[in-house]
Structure 1
Amino acid sequence: MAAKEHLQAQISALPHKPGVYKYFDDEGIIYVGKAIDLRKRVSSYFTKQDHNKKTQQLVKNIKRIEFTIVDSESDAFLLENNLIKQHQPKYNILLKDGKTYPYICLTNERFPRLIPTRNKINDGSRYYGPYANGTALNVLLELIRALYPLRTCNFNLSPQNVAAGKFKVCLEYHLGNCKGPCENHEDEAQYNGYIQQIRNILNGDLRVPKQYFREQMTAAAQDMQYELAHQFKVKLDKIEAFQVKSTIVHATLTNIDVFAIASNEKSAFITYLKVMNGAIILTQSLEVQKKLDEEDAEILAPLVMQMRQEFESESREILTNVALELPLPGVTVSIPQIGDKRKLIELALKNVLYARKEKESMNDRSKDLNEVRIMETIKKDLRLTELPKHIECFDNSNFQGDNPVAAMVCFRNAKPSKKDYRHYHIKTVVGPNDFDSMYEVVSRRYRRLVDEGASLPQLVIVDGGKGQLSMAVKALKDLNLWGQIPVIGIAKRLEEIYVPNDPLPLYIDKKSESLRLFQRMRDEVHRFGITFHRSRRDAATLKTELTDVKGLGPITADKLLNKFKSVKKIRELTEAELIAEVGKAKAKVLQNYFAENEAPTHPMPARQLPS
C-alpha cells in the first residue's frame, strides 16, 4: 500500500502541462511517454479498467515516476524520441539509431570526383542520399561513369601542380574513361558542364542529360560523324533504360514523402517512398515489434520523424494511410483519397501488405516445419510405419467410484483438434475399475468410427500403465482393428512409455519432442476429463439435495435447477418468485426446508406463507 500511496502522491503532484514522463521499476527506466497534459495522461494508466494485458503488466511494475515539462507538444515529441533511443526502455517500441547509410559525394575541388562514402565531412563537398541500400547507389554510379569521363584519382589538380607537370595520366586515360585533366588534356569548363548534368541526375531529374545527349547525337549525325553519333546514342539509351527501371509516377509530383503502415497482433510493418521529379528515388521498409498493443498512428508518428531524419528529407508534404499529428511546422500531412497521390499510397500499401503477408507466411511455414519435425520424431521413436498426423489419447476419471466418466482428446498435425474431443459416460462398469472402463471407451470410440466409415488415427495413447494398455489392445482385437492402429500407454510416475507385448517400458529422452507432446496430450485429456467429471458430480449433488426435500418431486427439482442453476440462487428467491415458479404449496415446502437447513455462509431467515 505504501508504494501505491507514493505513486498516487507523485501523480497528484504532476502539472497540467505538456511534457515527457518516465516510468521506473527497481532496475531503471521501463517506459517513456509524451503528453499534452501530464497529469491526465499519467493518471489514465492507473484509473482506466480496460487496459490490455501488456499495459496491465507495465502498470504493475511501475515503482517511480519522473517527468520533464516542455514548452510545446513538438518539444515533447522530440524529447521522447531522444530518450527512447538513449535508454531503450523494455515497454517502448525501440527507436534504435539508424545504421550509417551510404551517400554519393561530389567533392569540393578542381575537377570534382564522384565517390561513395558513409561519412559526411563538412569540407564543402556536396552529399547526395543517403541511399537505403548499396545496390541502388552502385547502379547510379555505374550509369554516371558510363555517361561522363570523370577522373578517379585523388591528386590535387591545382593549376600550379598541373602546369609543373607533377602528374602523369594513368590507365583510365588510355581506356577512355578519363580525359586526363592531370596533364591538362581536359577543358575545365567542359568538365564542369558534365558536373552540372550529374547534379541533375543525382537530384532525380533526367530531362537535362537526355536533352544534351540527344542534341549531341543529332549534331554529330549532321556532320556525318556517325561513329560519334552512335556513342551518344548508346549513352542516351543507357539513360532511358535506367529511367524505365525507375518507378515513374506523375511528372508533377515532386519532393513528397509517402508512408504506409499495416500491423498484426505482434508487429507493425512500415514502407517509406521518397518521390522526386515524378519518380520514386528511394524505398525503405522495416518491421517493428509491438510492446503495448499500440495503435498504428502511435507507431508510425515517431518512425516518420526518424526516417525523415535518417534520409535527410526536406519534403514539405507527407502522405500516409493513417491520420497523424506531427510537430513539423510548414509540413502538410494528408491521407489522399483520389488521384495520383492516392495511387502512391496504394503502391506503398501494396508493399507493406506484401511484407506483412510474407512474414506471416514465414511464421506459418516455420510452424508447419516444426509440427512435421515433431511427427517425424514420434515416428522414429516409436518405429511407426507412417507419420502420426492423427493421434488420440484416453483417460478415465472417477471420485471414490462415483460418477465414472472418460475423455478422449484428438491432436491433428501435432495440434489440438478440439472439435474432435469426446466425453464418455461409463455405462457397463460398476465401481472404480479403470481397466474395464478403458476397454469400454476404446471399444465405443472405434466401433463408431468403423460404423461411420471415418478415418482411424495413426496412434492411440492411453493414460496408464500395462493394465490400461492391455485393455485397449483387447478392445482393438475384439473390433478386428489390432495391427491397424498402433497403441501405447504412458505411466504418470516415471513418464514410462509401454508398448504391447513388451514387459519393459520404453524410456524416451526427457528432452524429446515426442515425450513432450505425449505429456501435453496426457495433461490435456486429464484436464478435459476432470472438468466433465466435476460438472457431473456437482449436478448430481445439487439434484440430490433438492430431490431429498419431502413433498418436492424430481420434475420440479429439475425444473428449478435447469432455470436457476444452483440451490443458492433458489434460496435467494422471494416468496412471490417461488410461488410463481412452483405454486403456493410447494413454495411453502421449500421455504420450510431452507429454514431448517440454512446455508452456512449465507443464512436466510424463513419466510412464513399464509395458511
Structure 2
Amino acid sequence: MPISLEEKIGHLPLKPGVYQFKDVRGNHLYIGKAKRLRNRVRSYFQDSGNHDGRIRVMVKKIHDLEVIVTDSEAEALILENTLIKKHHPRYNIMYRDDKSYPYICITNDEKPRVYPTRTVVKDGSKYFGPYDHVGHLRRMLETIRKTFELCTCAVSPKMIDKSRGAPKWHSCFDDYLKNCSGDWGADKYAVALQKVERLLSGKTEGLMKEVKEEMEIASTALEFEQAAQLRDSLLSLQKYNQKMKIVDSKKINRDLFAIEVAEDISEACGVLFKVREGKLVGKFHRYIKNIEDVSQEFMMQAFVEDYYSDPRGVDTGSLPDEVYISHSMEDDEPLHSYLWEVLGKKVPIHVPKIGDKKHLMKMALSNARLKLGERRIEKEKAEKNRIPKSVEDLKEYLHLERLPRRIECFDNSNIQGSDPVASMVCFVDGKPRKSEYKRFNIKTVVGPDDFASMREVLKRRYSRVKKDKLQAPDLILVDGGKGQLSAAVEALREIDFLEQCEVAGLAKRLEEVFLPGRADAVMIPKRSPSLKLLQMARDEAHRFAITFHRKKRSDRTLKTELTDIPGIGEKKASELLKEFGSVKKIKESSEETLQQFLGNKSGGAVYRHFRD
C-alpha cells in the first residue's frame, strides 16, 4: 500500500535538503530548500492562517512530496536553483530575462581562448559578466586586445587550419596566429591570461601599477622596444580605467542588489551593481514573474541566491567582500553558508543606511524603476498589437477573407415607431472602443420598420466613411437574422460599399450567424470566445441604442409637459431643462428665479402653471 503524504512528512529527516511539492498529475508546484526538511515541510500544513493566499491555494493542490537530502545548506541552495530552472514550478517566482546577456569566456583549453559569448557551457571555462551594455563589453575586449595582444574572437586551431590562404576575416587574426599558434611561450601566455582575469575582475589599480613597474624595469635595462609595448599597454589600461564610473570612495569590492515592484503589471525587477575597487564595472537586471502575494524580502532572497548559486558567479573569481541589499532577506543563513564555502571567509550582508552605499543603492533602485517603466511600455505595446484568439477563430468560423480586427455592430430601438433611434458600437481586437460609438436619429422612416431603419443608418454611416476616407470595418454585424442581414446587404450595395468589408447578422433566439449568399446559419460553439465576442458586441449595441431611445423619449415627454404652458415653445423648454436639470427642479423654483431666467411674463406663467 502506498505511503501517504502525512506519513512521508513524518519520516522526513532533520537534515538540510530540497523538497519538491507535486500535484495529482505529478507536475511540480513548488521547489524549496530547508535547513531541517521535516520542520520546513510541516510548516506548510500547520497554522495555514499565517500563510498568504498564494501558499494556501498551493497547499490544497499538494498530492505528493519528493525530497533530496544534502550535506549542507550551501549544497541545497545550488540544487534548488538547478531544479527550479529545470522544472519551472507554478508557485516559485520565475525570472524573465529580456535578452540573453553576454559574458566574456576564458576557455578551459590547453591554450585558453578569450572571447564573448551568450552561451554558457559547464566545461570548466570561466565566465565574466554578465554585461548589461554591449558597449561596455566591446570596450573591455578592445582593452584586452590592445593591452595584452590577445585574440578576442572565437577562433580555434581547427578554424585556422580551414582558413589557410583565405582573407583575414577578423582584426585580431594576426594576434591569434602569434599567441595561440606557438609564437608565444607557454609562460608568457599564462602571465597574459592571469592579467586578463585580474582586469575582468575589476582589479585595474594593481594591474596598472604592475605594468608601470615592468615598463620602468625594461627602460632601465635599455629594452626600449619592450618598454614601448608596456607603455602602450599602460595607456590602454588608463584609458579604460578613466571610463569606469567611480561610485565608492573606499576601494572595496561590493555587490548591490535592488528590488522594485510594479503591481500594475504583476512583475518586479531586480538590479545588480558590481563595484570593484570603488568603480562600477558591471550591472544587469532581471524581471521577476509570479510575484502575487510574494514579499519583497522573499524576492530579494531568491534574486540574490539565484545569482550566486549560478556557477558563472563562482567561476569569475571576483566575488565581493561585502553584499548590500535594498530589502532584508527572510533567511540569509543559507547564503552566508554558501559564500563561506566558496570564499572561505564571512561575507557581510547589509541594508545600507548612510553614505556612498546608500547613495549607490538609490541609484540601483532608480535603475530598477526605469527598467519596469520600459517593461510596462513593452507589455502595453504587446497587448495593443496582440490579436486575441477569439478574433482569429472568428475568421475561421465565418470563412472571412481577413481577420475581423475591427467590428462595427448596429441595432435599432423604438416603441411602436415612436422616437426611433439606432446605435453603432465599435470593437477593435476584441475590445470595445467607446470613443468611436455612434448614435443615430432615424430621419426618413415613418412607423415601426426596423429593416428600413437599418438601411438608412448603414447608408448614412458608410457614405460618410467613403466621403471622409475613414477607417472601414473588417466586419459589419447587425442585430437580427436573415431579414436584417438582407436590409444591410441592400443598403451597402446601393452605396457601392459591399465589396469593402464583410457583413453578418446575429439572430438572438438560437445565437445563429447568417452570412450573405448562404442559406444555412453558421453555428459557432456555445462556449467559444468567438461567439462571446459577437454576443458582447450585439448586447453593447442594444444597450447603447436603448439608453439613447429612453433619453430621447424622456426629453420629448418633458418638453411636451413644458410646451403646454402658454409662451413656452420647444426652444425655451430645452433651455429650461438644460438650466434646471429636470421638471421637478423647475416646479420647486421660486417665481423670482424663473422670471430672472425667462423674463417676468414667461417666468410667471411657468410658476403659475405648476401651482394652479
Give TM-score scaled by structure 2 length: 0.55
Instruction: Decide whether aligned partners of structure 1 residues 518 and 419 sit closer, same or farther in structure 2, where only a CA change above 3 A counts.
Output: farther
2:538 maps to which of 522, 526, 538: 526
Letter in 1 for 2:408: E
Aligned to 1:321: 326
**Structure 1 Cα separation of the partners of residues 72 and 541 of structure 2:** 61
Which residue is 1:546 aligned to?
none
Unaligned runs of 5+ in 2: 116-120, 158-173, 337-345, 549-612
Could you tell me how far 1:238 is from its partner in structure 2? 0.9
Measured after TM superposition, the shift of residue 75 of structure 1 is 9.5
Aligned residue type for 2:536: E
Return the offset for 1:307.
Answer: 1.0
Stretch moving more, 524-533 or 64-73: 64-73
Matches of 1:263 and 1:172, distance apart in 2: 47
Q: Take 1:282 and 1:534, find their aligned partners in 2: how far apart are those partners?
A: 62
Tell me which residue corresponds to 2:280: 280
1:302 aligns with 302
Amino acid at match of 1:333: I
Whole-angstrom CA distance in 1 between matches of 2:82 and 2:211: 48
Residues 421 and 442 in structure 2, CA contact (< 8 A), matched pair in contact too: yes
Q: State the match for 1:27 in structure 2.
A: 25
1:120-519 to structure 2, matched below 5 A, reads 129-132=127-130, 143-144=143-144, 146-148=146-148, 200-214=198-212, 230-264=228-262, 265-290=265-290, 292=292, 294-310=294-310, 311-312=313-314, 314-325=319-330, 326-327=332-333, 328-329=335-336, 330-336=346-352, 338-370=354-386, 392-395=408-411, 408-412=424-428, 415-418=431-434, 434-435=450-451, 438=454, 458-459=472-473, 460-465=476-481, 467-469=483-485, 471=487, 489-492=503-506, 495-498=513-516, 504=517
Letter in 1 for 2:231: K
Task: Note the C-alpha offset of 1:259.
Answer: 1.5
Structure 1 residues 95 and 80, CA, compared in 2 at 3 Å: closer, same or farther? farther
CA deviations on 1:307-363 (whole Å, 9 max, x unpaired) are: 112202643522223332322444443333553223432443344444434444334
Rounded Cα–Cα distance in structure 2 between residues aligned with 1:138 and 1:455: 51
CA distance in 1, matches of 2:478, 2:211: 83
Residues in 2 aligned to 1:178 and 1:86: alpha-carbon distance in whole angstroms: 40
CA contact (8 A) 1:11 1:42 kept: no
Q: Could you say if the C-alpha distance between residues 32 and 526 of structure 1 is closer, same or farther in structure 2, counting changes exceeding 3 Å?
A: same
Q: Which residue number corresponds to residue 42 of structure 1?
A: 45
Per-residue deviation, residues 53-78 of structure 1 (Å, max 9, x unmatched): xx676455344567899999999877
Q: CA deviation at 1:22?
A: 5.0
Task: State the one-letter code of the partner of 2:29.
Answer: I
Given the two structures, how large is their TM-score scaled by the length of structure 1? 0.55
How many Å separate the matches in 1 of 2:427 and 2:85? 45
Report the secondary structure of 1:324's partner residue.
coil
Q: 1:314 to 1:225 in 2, by over 3 A?
A: closer
Aligned-pair identity in percent equals 27
Q: Equivalents in 2 of 1:487, 1:173: separation in Å?
A: 64
The CA deviation at 1:508 is 14
The alignment partner of 1:410 has SS state of strand
Distance in structure 2 (CA, Å) of the matches to 1:197 and 1:457: 64
| Structure 1 residue 235, shift from structure 2 partner | 1.8
Q: For the residues of structure 1 that align with 2:492 and 2:472, how far apart are their CA atoms? A: 13
**Cα distance between partner residues in 2 of 1:410 and 1:355:** 35
Distance in 2, matches of 1:153 and 1:372, equals 48
CA RMSD of aligned residues (A): 6.5
SS of the residue aligned with 2:285? strand
CA distance, structure 1, for counterparts of residue 451 and residue 8 of structure 2: 64
CA distance in 1 between partners of 2:298 and 2:540 (Å): 42
**1:91–1:291 Cα contact (<8 Å) kept:** no
Q: 1:128, 1:49 → 2: CA distance?
A: 41
Runs (5+) with no aligned partner, structure 1: 1-5, 122-126, 155-170, 499-503, 537-611
Separation in structure 1 between the aligned mates of residue 183 and residue 244 of structure 2, nearest angstrom: 33
Q: Supply the AA of the counterpart residue of 1:321.
A: S
Distance 2:192 2:219 in 1: 21
Is the contact made by 1:490 and 1:497 (CA closer than 8 Å) also made in structure 2?
Answer: yes
The number of residue pairs the alignment matches comes to 474
Q: Secondary structure at the match of 2:273?
A: strand
Determine the structure 1 residue equivalent to 2:92.
92
1:516-595 correspondence runs (5 A): 522-528=534-540
**CA-CA distance at 1:275 after TM superposition:** 1.9
What is the one-letter code of the residue matched to 2:323? I
The amino acid across from 1:30 in the alignment is L
Distance 2:412 2:406 in 1: 21
Structure 1 position 522, deviation (Å): 2.7
CA distance in structure 2 between the partners assigned to 1:323 and 1:27 by the alignment: 36
- In structure 2, relative to structure 1, the CA distance for the partners of 1:62 and 1:397 (3 Å cut) is farther
SS in 2 for 1:462: strand
Residue type matched to 1:303 in 2?
A: F
Distance 2:400 2:488 in 1: 17
Contact 1:456 1:485 in 2 (8 A): no
Change (3 A) 1:486 1:38: same
8 Å CA contact 1:18–1:38 kept in 2: the answer is no
In structure 1, C-alpha distance between the alignment counterparts of 2:83 and 2:542, rounded to whole Å: 52
Q: Which amino acid aligns with 2:325?
A: T
Q: Which has the higher contact order (CA 8 A, sep 6+)?
A: 2
3-state SS of paired residue (1:240): helix
Q: For the residues of structure 1 that align with 2:193 and 2:67, how far apart are their CA atoms?
A: 52
Deviation for aligned residue 1:237? 1.6
Letter in 2 for 1:322: H
- Change in Cα spacing, 1:49 to 1:150, as seen in structure 2 (3 Å) is closer
- For the Cα contact (< 8 Å) 2:266–2:292, is it kept in 1? no
Shift of 1:304: 0.9
| Contact residue 316 and residue 331 of structure 1 kept, 8 A | yes
Contact 1:253-1:276 at 8 Å conserved across structures: yes
CA contact (8 A) 1:457 1:485 kept: no
SS at match of 1:238: helix
Shift of 1:286: 2.9
**Structure 1 residues 315 and 457, CA, compared in 2 at 3 Å: closer, same or farther?**
closer
Amino acid at match of 2:205: R
Q: Which moved more, 1:301-310 or 1:29-38?
A: 29-38
Whose Rg is larger?
1
Residue 239 of structure 1: CA displacement?
A: 0.7
Specify which of 103, 106, 114 is matched with residue 104 of structure 1: 106
Counterpart residue type for residue 24 of structure 1: K
SS at match of 2:53: coil
Q: Is the 8 A contact 1:392 1:457 kept in 2?
A: no
Q: How far is the alpha carbon of 1:106 from its aligned partner? A: 9.3
- SS at 1:490's partner residue? strand
